Amino acid sequence: MRVEIWSDIACPWCYVGKARFEKALAAFPHRDRVEVVHRSFELDPGRAKDDVQPVLAMLTKKYGMSQAQAQAGEDNLGAQAAAEGLDYRTRDRDHGSTFDMHRLLHFAKERGRQDELIQILYRANFAEERSLFTEGPERLVELAAEAGLDADAARTVLADPAAYADEVRADEREAAELGANGVPFFVLDRAYGVSGAQPAEVFTQALTRAWGDRSPLTLVDDGDAQACGPDGCAVPQQ
């Protein structure tokens, strides 16, 4: 079974939702047969790389809330994250473009390190004092290397604005086609969707239902076809 997760590194509920989903997946009896793929979704598509601002300033401008309301929301998110065992800085974080991070995640997917990288990026954005947005590409190269990727290869990807850009945009178009206008958005076997950072119990129910509803394979066989198996290949008889 395949689970696709549309998310953005700048999305705090994606950070929390991933932890809740993983809690459900860890207890799922068929977890070893579940493939998880992370898909791209930018909360601020087209945002310039140098357009970086404090999170509270972004929230007050985008949602028309007061500074006190924005801070209360961050404090609530910090409590929600802590309940899932996650570190979350409720003060002095910043916000910027995540496009290069999504390009790097597609690069990591090709090398089997996507989940490691996305978790490191979440941690860096929500839990660490250093900024993901103001230190330039070398900060991302450093985190890519921590995820087990070749630093020079990651640097080359980031230096080429076209590298994996089409893959990011394709994910975002697909999200729109599926009706996802917010993240996190979980799609199970292209049959079930779960929107938002639901409790682990909801993910458990979704996994169980999607697994049980998988269509069994219908075999078309006249019984005379030759084939190869673990014990070798059938030898045609005269």
pLDDT, tens digit, 9 for 90 and up, residues 43-91: 999 899 999 999 999 999 999 999 999 999 999 999 999 999 999 999 9
* Average pLDDT score over residue span 140-166: 98
Q: Using CA atoms, how far apart are residues 29 and 116, in angstroms rounded to an integer?
A: 23
Q: How much is the pTM?
A: 0.89
| Residue 231 scores a pLDDT above 80 | no
Characterise 27 by phi-psi region: left (phi > 0), alpha (psi -120 to 50), beta (else).
alpha
pLDDT value at position 226? 63
* Backbone CA torsion sign across 64, 68, 70, 76: negative
The mean pLDDT of the chain is 93
Query: Among candidates 94, 10, 100, 102, which has minimal Cα distance to 52?
Result: 94
Q: For residue 75, what are the CA distances in angstroms to 69, 71, 91? A: 10, 6, 9
Percent of the chain residues past pLDDT 70, beyond the cut? 90
HSE, side-chain direction, 13 A CA sphere, residue 224: 2
